[in-house]
Amino acid sequence: MSPRRVRAECDGVGRQDRPLRFTVDGEPVDGIEGQTIAGALLAAGRLAWRQGRSGAPRGVFCGIGVCFDCLVTVGEERDVRACRRRARDGDVVTTQSRCPDPGGANRRHPAPPAEEDG
């Protein structure tokens, strides 16, 4: 799938888009300069990239930086809103989730200490 919604030969504005490529969980994603990470993912046909607490798939909901449904990690920076961050060539994006997991690697906050029986 092309990262462009309008094919170059049909573009009345005649933009000269510069392609870029970044990775999401190690998979290459092609985009164009100025496109958000979420925009490039949607153009690539990916509608969800994390799970909410219930396990429901999450991707773009508001698309304007309000709902935080689209969170990803970019490089070492967690909780980046993919709908607000412009993709850069060479970005290393990893998905994240708030689903409970035994090791707690995907938790946003550390688990509280267990209560002792007493």
Residues that bind ligand FES (CB under 6 A): 60-63, 65-70, 81, 83
CA distances 48 to 34, 39, 60, 103, Å, are 21, 12, 7, 23
Nearer to ligand FES, 11 or 79 (CB): 79
- CB count within 10 Å of CB 31 equals 26
- The helix or strand, by DSSP H or E, that contains position 92, with its residue range, turns out to be strand 92-95
Nearer to ligand FES, 8 or 66 (CB): 66
Q: Output the smallest distance, CB 61 to ligand FES, in A.
A: 5
Q: Output the smallest distance, CB 38 to ligand FES, in A.
A: 6
Nearer to ligand FES, 19 or 52 (CB): 52
Q: Output the smallest distance, CB 104 to ligand FES, in A.
A: 24
Residues in the chain: 118
β 19-24/92-95 pair status: parallel
